[in-house]
Structure 1
Amino acid sequence: MRLGYSAVTAGIIDTREAFEVAARYGLDIELSSDMVEMFPQLPGPGELREMGRAAGVGFTLHLPFVDLNLASLIEPAWRTSLERMQRALEYGAAVGARVGVLHTGQVPLRHPKLVELAFGRLQRALAELSPPPLPVAVENLVLDDQDLLRTPGELVRVVEEAGPGFGYTLDLAHAYVQGGAAQIGAYLEAMQASKAPLLHLHLHDNRGDWDAHLPVGAGSIPFADFREELAEFSGTAALETTGGEEGVRASLEALKRFWG
């Protein structure tokens, strides 16, 4: 498993500081497409790629989700979301990101007909993005009543229909909020049985009540229970923890205890 961290979630905005922390702990950096859009003065993809090469730091990319909905039933909103996602994937390819993490979208009114139409919109969007210029790892959510995909089966259906180039991000903390350790196990089982690959992990902690993004070990997620199931995982992972460098360091120490 190749491990990185989200500098944005850690609260580290300065680019050089983000690289220093990554290099100090031997981590990659999970970049944020939303930050790239909101702060165009940040280093461009070519400069970042060179900085990464010099520091021995690689990248994963969290694709945009702020004000974006690939399942939107409003045509202008859907079209804008698709165009932003296409630009973000091009950015990810230019910076050399190993994987891009994708949020699937929401349906504000859960009338059965609207849900059906929203599934169609999402499937159409993923077809438009195919084949992606870098592997795309679709993430489990269900943190909001408006989230479109509600079950492991629905996530698998969408990803398998998307075809080559698409796989999964397992966010253990999201699943824990949704249904505790049993739900983490349900997502992991569904992903491992799928024809599409498990590509990426998001690692952070909470106490089961909300998505607190605590350092690993600071909440109640039983990470040790999944040691054997993830022992052969060879993809990428990112710490999505608050607490700055100290949160990153504490998470690394906890993962050593839990997973070796």
Structure 2
Amino acid sequence: MRLGFSTATTGLDYPQAFELAARLGLFLEIPYDLHEMDPRLPPARQLLEMGRAAGVEFTVHLPFVDLNLASLIPDVGKLSLERVRRSLEFAQTLGAYCGVLHTGKVAVRQLLALEMARRHLDTALQALTPLPIPVALENLALSPSDLLQGTDELADVLEAHPEYGFCLDVGHALVEGKEGQTEAYHQRFNGRLIHWHLHDNLGDRDSHLPVGLGRVNWSWVKEKLRDFKGTIALEVTGGLEGVEQSVHLLRSG
């Protein structure tokens, strides 16, 4: 099991995160947004050297804060595309296993707006190819503003863009469709699945609880992870203890 954790949700700084990752044999998922926001954070080459010293590798969550590849406003879409390109260069420098990408939002679910947003998304995804690293599109559908709702709409995009893989976020799926939605995404896209996001919630909101503190069916998840060859990133709160608790549950028999 190639397991890691996101530094975005834990609240750990990089020295703490590298120490924990090295001790538990984990990789780090780097939130590119934070590096855009805070120039004091180490650049990619420095992070790479820190990782080599600690024996820690990486995945990258590509930008999503104020980012919308499907924006109906052309200037917003152009800036979003440029930000993703920069983040892919960052991830390539790190030698990241993969990058995770959000697919965009639409302000109103009106037919013309939806058609235009989907067209803009298709154009952006095509413009990013050839991809310098594997990129996984993540299931969202946490609110009506998320462009892609459910498995059918995500399937349309993945079928149109075979260069991209899929990231199954179990917490998002639970909020979207309650019990059974994670299984539905897995059954539909298992052949494209290259990355998982693991965290828990009570089905009411995307609370990113440590594994085992909510309603995600972890017995089912662990069964599916047993033979999975890709990467798995914890996106849990609770700091060091939240990561340790989650790792223990996932690695236990």
Q: Please give the range of the TM-score, normalised by the shorter of the 2 chains.
A: over 0.9
The amino acid of 1:123's aligned partner reads D
Looking at structure 1, the residues matched to 186 and 178 of structure 2 have their Cα atoms a distance apart, in angstroms, of 13
User: Which residue in the other structure is 2:10 paired with?
Assistant: 10
Kindly indicate whether the alpha-carbon contact (under 8 Å) linking 2:222 and 2:250 is maintained by their aligned counterparts in 1.
Answer: no
1:149 aligns with 2:144: no
User: Which residue in the other structure is 2:107 paired with?
Assistant: 108
| 1:238 match: secondary structure | strand
Q: How does 1:123-142 map to 2 (within 5 A)?
A: 123-142=122-141
Looking at structure 1, the residues matched to 120 and 6 of structure 2 have their Cα atoms a distance apart, in angstroms, of 29
- Provide, for residues 49-99 of structure 1, a one-character-per-residue CA deviation record: whole Å limited to 9, x for no partner: 111111110000000000110000100100000000010001100111110
1:239 Cα deviation from its structure 2 partner: 0.5
Kindly indicate whether the alpha-carbon contact (under 8 Å) linking 1:130 and 1:162 is maintained by their aligned counterparts in 2.
Answer: no
Looking at structure 2, the residues matched to 187 and 207 of structure 1 have their Cα atoms a distance apart, in angstroms, of 19
User: Which residue in the other structure is 2:236 paired with?
Assistant: 241
The amino acid of 1:245's aligned partner reads L
User: Which residue in the other structure is 1:198 paired with?
Assistant: 193
User: Which residue in the other structure is 1:172 paired with?
Assistant: 170
- Provide, for residues 24-55 of structure 1, a one-character-per-residue CA deviation record: whole Å limited to 9, x for no partner: 11110000110010111211111111111111
Looking at structure 2, the residues matched to 19 and 229 of structure 1 have their Cα atoms a distance apart, in angstroms, of 28
User: Which residue in the other structure is 1:214 paired with?
Assistant: 209
**Structure 1 regions of 5+ residues with no counterpart?**
none
User: Which residue in the other structure is 2:246 paired with?
Assistant: 251
Aligned length: 253
Looking at structure 2, the residues matched to 10 and 135 of structure 1 have their Cα atoms a distance apart, in angstroms, of 25
Looking at structure 2, the residues matched to 248 and 16 of structure 1 have their Cα atoms a distance apart, in angstroms, of 15
Moved over 2 A (4+): 225-231
| 2:224 match: secondary structure | coil
Looking at structure 2, the residues matched to 163 and 184 of structure 1 have their Cα atoms a distance apart, in angstroms, of 22
Of residues 170-179 and 154-163 in structure 1, the stretch that sits farther from structure 2 once superposed is 154-163
| 2:60 match: secondary structure | strand
Looking at structure 1, the residues matched to 45 and 53 of structure 2 have their Cα atoms a distance apart, in angstroms, of 12
Q: How does 1:85-124 map to 2 (within 5 A)?
A: 85-124=84-123
1:188 Cα deviation from its structure 2 partner: 0.4
Looking at structure 2, the residues matched to 226 and 214 of structure 1 have their Cα atoms a distance apart, in angstroms, of 16
Kindly indicate whether the alpha-carbon contact (under 8 Å) linking 1:153 and 1:190 is maintained by their aligned counterparts in 2.
Answer: no
| 1:4 match: secondary structure | strand
Q: What is the aligned-residue RMSD (CA, Å)? A: 1.1
Of residues 155-164 and 96-105 in structure 1, the stretch that sits farther from structure 2 once superposed is 155-164
The amino acid of 1:51's aligned partner reads M
| 1:126 match: secondary structure | helix
User: Which residue in the other structure is 2:221 paired with?
Assistant: 226
Q: How does 1:19-58 map to 2 (within 5 A)?
A: 19-58=18-57
The amino acid of 2:87's aligned partner reads A
The amino acid of 1:85's aligned partner reads V
User: Which residue in the other structure is 1:158 paired with?
Assistant: 157
User: Which residue in the other structure is 2:180 paired with?
Assistant: 182
| 2:179 match: secondary structure | helix
Looking at structure 2, the residues matched to 32 and 230 of structure 1 have their Cα atoms a distance apart, in angstroms, of 23
Looking at structure 1, the residues matched to 212 and 35 of structure 2 have their Cα atoms a distance apart, in angstroms, of 30
Identity level (%): 51
Looking at structure 1, the residues matched to 6 and 210 of structure 2 have their Cα atoms a distance apart, in angstroms, of 12
Kindly indicate whether the alpha-carbon contact (under 8 Å) linking 2:101 and 2:138 is maintained by their aligned counterparts in 1.
Answer: yes
Of residues 40-49 and 134-143 in structure 1, the stretch that sits farther from structure 2 once superposed is 40-49
Q: TM-score, normalised by structure 1?
A: 0.94
